[in-house]
Structure 1
């Protein structure tokens, strides 16, 4: 069964109108993302990834290392400015568009160009200027699929494209080092080869072998670092997951928004053609639909984040572009331009507001925290005093503003526990610590850990922030009451899981495992 309806090479020239659209939309979207990258304050997650990059490693507490490696590269070239950290996001959709063109232009240059254009017109590709762990996943997933499409097209004609299978495997390995959702793409490959390409199983085998080194890198890091990726993604973050009808409904609404009502309307009108997708574009249908189906299964117990779906949006776009009648594509373009225009208008309007106009917003204090982090840190920091935060997001933002790492004081949350690996709290024994937080502490919350404690408020843009200063940090008490509880909650490794090293446990009890 063919991957695309034809294996011929299409040398037709693109129409000048389509070429102009590609140039205008491509350049305009880069400019819009560049503006957002320059004006948006650093988010907590981005600041966290920035600090990952400041502590070079081949793995981090809750995710593989690729996003940190990207930031390490941009920092080395352009410094620590927010726009520099976000620089890859300016060109990411261009890289995905190049993969779409490279994969599908040999079959139909005009359709491939339309697919690139319509993907670039998706509002999320204009708004997504923030660096996330999904960013490298999106790029490497696109190139893995593109290489496999070319490999399958050539191999279906009788010549095995070993180099393309290998390229696809390397790319999916890099995607795996970006985020574990690359596994969903791998499952889509398995479905495709099992159902439509069993005769080319050796190509799949080579693909897998070329992706294995990346998996081994991640495996070795986990062996030496408490299996934190597995503990977080498989166990700790899912302990409270339970079924609720609101979760699959939320997933459905997210999917409708992301794909856009425009595409869904035209897809419904062409539903007969879409039903034949598996007959004509089996590989494309698998990489577009299998991950979305797996997310649907997860959505019964998990809230599916919009950003989780972004790596698979290019394939949905290509599938819809390929199955829709050609005369409908201009209509899709008009609809997406209108849908995009609404988003751009809202963003531009919001950019004209002042910070004080958001005072009635529920999360205004968090906005102040992000926008005014340098001023907040300046109010609280003092020579010889260790500044800490109450949660990873705030601590990461304060650290970025201060130019030095700010640890989390206390239990923190299940997310982003990188401080467990990089901070030795014993070195603060006897020191003075100031904890900056948005909420008031509970009575007596800090007294056990210090000889003396005092608290006060600082005001920033009309919002009170709470400062707790503890003099004479008592590490022995902190270890017994906080670090032991952290060990019980987050480092209870299953007995069958071999642990070769765990810096957190080694500091706590002198061994790779500590008794709960």
Structure 2
């Protein structure tokens, strides 16, 4: 296998494959991005862009900054905030090419093609915290690969190591899974490149502003990211066989049947490539093992592994025998084509097609949001949601932040940062609910309560209307529970501020 053909021209057929895959997948993503309704997570992150900050309740701030940028430059619309994820595969393909062309231009092109043919890159148009994480992670790896190809530790090499660190710091400001990327770097340098540990040290030094910003934010906001990612979301973590089995099945799907078959059939070639492409191998093996261990107690989300996704296809492109690259691409294309056919079939359905399914109420909420709000809105009435998903979707439609009434869950606790419930003292509040509420659950917090019934496209929904909101009762009955459940901040963590605590008890750290 030749892997040093820097001057080799790309075959015409391969160039055409790249053009077709890049253009057709872009057109499909554009179509989905303008036609698919906003999801709960997207609507939640939208408000991070409306209120830019150095951090947010669940995660570091990068996606909020990105959405704020898109709103400021292209306008406040769904297509504009989705544009980064629509263009992301093209940017990642360019980064892979830049990183790998020095090793072998032809195989670098195959790596880009394999990645572009993955079904996820045809369908994913949802803006999430993973969007900037993937972008900065791949840029960091690309800069590191370029640095590693420098024969000497010259100025260019030092600059590339520094650039890789800056990008890693940006990835950290996107999501904490960037730590896994940093750990992969450490494994690579300790095992294979100890003579360049100085380069790793510079990389880490240039990445430190990212964690520094995040630590400063957490100190002034009750360690919200740490409480969510380390404590609150892991209280019930325990081993179940379904968790690692789900992880294995998910990875088999993401890798795609064609690529998985090729990897198994030509496993000796993969082992040989691991010796010649050590950095790529570490970027595949270390995250796979990390998430495999984590899957013993946690259900690994599909999006958790996406910042490492491109490297698996790149490794495969450099590992397979030359004569099997086209066959692998064809298999990937067929699998992607099946997904496109499914999407085309879904777009041929109507809302009524789904009437008999369990998803129908959620579909109506997503496609008939404005109509539902028109029914429940009234002058002088404050609207709230029962959970963050409906509250975010309704708020996005109104372009007005909608709080969640009640204790809520451990995730999406941006209300704790933004909402001062004392401002609603004495007001009339309508809480939009999917199921008929029990009045006794809400009566303690209002002078009077009643249930309002509505219907949209055959789906009943309700509003609990409470007049004369009693903030003091809500503080004791709801906010007190929130404090005990979600703000049990370890005393060893230093704090300079906590918006929720300061409103709740008037102190940075409330007595427990």
**Band of TM-score, shorter chain:** over 0.9
Shift of 1:276: 2.5
Does 2:317 match 1:355? no
Equivalent residue number for residue 9 of structure 2: 13
Query: Contact 1:451–1:473 (CA<8 Å) still a contact in 2?
Result: yes
1:268-347 counterparts in 2 under 5 A?
A: 268-347=264-343
Equivalent residue number for residue 472 of structure 2: 476
Does 2:366 match 1:370? yes
1:419-454 alpha-carbon deviations (Å, 9 max, x no partner)? 001011100000110000112223401100000111
Equivalent residue number for residue 76 of structure 2: 80
Equivalent residue number for residue 400 of structure 2: 404
Equivalent residue number for residue 58 of structure 2: 62
Residue-pair matches, total? 512
Query: Contact 1:93–1:125 (CA<8 Å) still a contact in 2?
Result: yes
- Structure 1 CA distance for aligned equivalents of residues 270 and 11 of structure 2: 26
Higher mean C-alpha displacement, 368-377 vs 315-324: 368-377
- Structure 2 CA distance for aligned equivalents of residues 69 and 251 of structure 1: 31
| Secondary structure, aligned partner of 1:387 | strand
| Secondary structure, aligned partner of 1:504 | helix
Does 2:92 match 1:96? yes
Gaps of 5+ in 2: none
Provide TM-score, normalisation by structure 1: 0.97
Query: Contact 2:5–2:106 (CA<8 Å) still a contact in 1?
Result: no
- Structure 2 CA distance for aligned equivalents of residues 473 and 152 of structure 1: 63
Equivalent residue number for residue 446 of structure 2: 450
Pairing partner for 2:510 from 503, 508, 514: 514
- Structure 1 CA distance for aligned equivalents of residues 127 and 75 of structure 2: 15
| Secondary structure, aligned partner of 1:457 | strand
Does 2:451 match 1:462? no
Equivalent residue number for residue 247 of structure 2: 251
Shift of 1:160: 7.0
Equivalent residue number for residue 129 of structure 2: 133
| Secondary structure, aligned partner of 1:492 | coil
Equivalent residue number for residue 493 of structure 2: 497
Pairing partner for 1:236 from 232, 235, 238: 232
Residues 1:457 and 1:156: Cα distance change in structure 2 (over 3 Å): farther
Gaps of 5+ in 1: none
1:294-334 alpha-carbon deviations (Å, 9 max, x no partner)? 00000011000111111111001101110100110100111
| Secondary structure, aligned partner of 1:161 | helix
- Structure 1 CA distance for aligned equivalents of residues 68 and 389 of structure 2: 20
Query: Contact 1:251–1:304 (CA<8 Å) still a contact in 2?
Result: yes
- Structure 2 CA distance for aligned equivalents of residues 308 and 172 of structure 1: 17
Query: Contact 2:161–2:202 (CA<8 Å) still a contact in 1?
Result: yes
- Structure 1 CA distance for aligned equivalents of residues 151 and 232 of structure 2: 44
* Two-structure CA RMSD over aligned residues (Å): 1.4
Residues 1:5 and 1:450: Cα distance change in structure 2 (over 3 Å): farther
- Structure 2 CA distance for aligned equivalents of residues 155 and 448 of structure 1: 72
Residues 1:420 and 1:104: Cα distance change in structure 2 (over 3 Å): same
- Structure 2 CA distance for aligned equivalents of residues 112 and 498 of structure 1: 48
- Structure 2 CA distance for aligned equivalents of residues 9 and 337 of structure 1: 26
| Secondary structure, aligned partner of 1:459 | strand
- Structure 1 CA distance for aligned equivalents of residues 278 and 68 of structure 2: 38
Higher mean C-alpha displacement, 223-232 vs 150-159: 150-159
Provide TM-score, normalisation by structure 2: 0.98
Query: Contact 2:439–2:449 (CA<8 Å) still a contact in 1?
Result: no
| Secondary structure, aligned partner of 2:440 | coil
Pairing partner for 1:202 from 189, 198, 218: 198
Query: Contact 1:160–1:203 (CA<8 Å) still a contact in 2?
Result: no
Residues 1:9 and 1:331: Cα distance change in structure 2 (over 3 Å): closer
Residues 1:493 and 1:155: Cα distance change in structure 2 (over 3 Å): farther
